[in-house]
Amino acid sequence: MASVVSDSLLFLGTGTSSGVPVIGCFCDVCCSSNPKNNRLRTSALLKIGSKRILLDPCVDFRQQALRFSVDHVDAVLVTHPHADHIFGLDELRIYSQRTNAPISVYGSRATIEEIKVTFRYVFRPPQMGGGVPQLDLHIVQGSFLVCGLPFQTIPIKHGVLDIEGYRIGDVAYLTDCSEIPQTSWPLLEGVQTLVLGALRFRPHPTHFSLDQALAVVARLKPKNTFFVHICHDMDHDSVCEQLPPGVSLAYDGLEIPLE
């Protein structure tokens, strides 16, 4: 009998743009022996049936793909075009080489236009023998389909930048968030699994602090919340001990089942 494939969300990385440990840092978290304090850049993989949908191809994606046996990627959702969230796009070439088919990449107009500039060698005619990924870019806003599955963009603020979060069913993925506009709160009603950026204890101009992220949780009241984009200020175990029920720091390799 064929095995049943469970739908899940796999956290490939949960760290901020510097990763943890930070280069040249010898703080307690960077020197910790706890593997949950070792954080690659934030990225996640939705596993829906046989489909694999990558959320942000971060700069560490090759290492993540090898560590967690990501043998195929069917589509990519990009929240915004900062280096730590898109520099893994080139690593998708192995997948398109195997299938000889482009991989669909979804994002806002601003994100897609920035990808075209950053990876212009992909979209101009490459030289013969050049190894580049085959990418099919899609501008999305509002509701859209990926691999036949319904997604919803959630406009959020990253400092002064307008970026995207995404929702599928009762799961919302909001990283690098410093503000949720009033018009976006209704789009989050009924969310039961919330993935939310929580950078550190102290306020930051472009990211939620831990207290600000907890305020979002208190308003939305999801069943489960997982904080990501975590810097080296926060020790996994000691912070998790202080969090309310149903709320925890995510860690690299954590895989949660989805309804």
> Which H/E stretch holds residue 116?
helix 109-118
In a domain, 162, yes or no: yes
In a domain, 64, yes or no: yes
Assess whether pLDDT exceeds 80 at residue 67.
yes
Nearest by Cα to 54 from 142, 182, 147, 190: 147
pLDDT band at 124 (very low <50, low <70, confident <90, very high): confident
CB 60 within 8 A of CB 67: no
In a domain, 44, yes or no: yes
Mean pLDDT calculated for residue range 38-58: 97
Q: How far, in Å, CA of 13 to CA of 170, rounded?
A: 22
The answer for 15, left when phi > 0, alpha when psi is -120 to 50, beta otherwise, is beta
pLDDT band at 259 (very low <50, low <70, confident <90, very high): confident
Instruction: Note down the domain range covering 190.
Output: 8-257
Assess whether pLDDT exceeds 80 at residue 2.
no
CB 251 within 8 A of CB 44: no
Q: Please name the residue that has the structure tokens 């690299």.
A: 252
- Tens-place pLDDT, residues 218-232: 999 999 999 999 999
CB 22 within 8 A of CB 16: no
In a domain, 213, yes or no: yes
CB 44 within 8 A of CB 70: no
CATH code at 208? 3.60.15.10
What pLDDT is stored for residue 130 in this prediction?
A: 62
C-alpha distance across the termini of the chain, in Å: 23
Nearest by Cα to 13 from 46, 61, 47: 61
In a domain, 174, yes or no: yes
Q: How far, in Å, CA of 51 to CA of 7, rounded?
A: 9
pLDDT band at 127 (very low <50, low <70, confident <90, very high): low
In a domain, 1, yes or no: no
In a domain, 209, yes or no: yes
In a domain, 177, yes or no: yes
Q: Looking at the 3D structure of the chain, how many domains does it have? A: 1
Mean pLDDT calculated for residue range 152-171: 98
Burial group, residue 182, by CB count within 10 angstroms (0-12, 13-18, 19+)? exposed
User: In the chain, what's the furthest Cα-to-Cα distance?
Assistant: 56
- Tens-place pLDDT, residues 149-161: 999 999 999 999 9
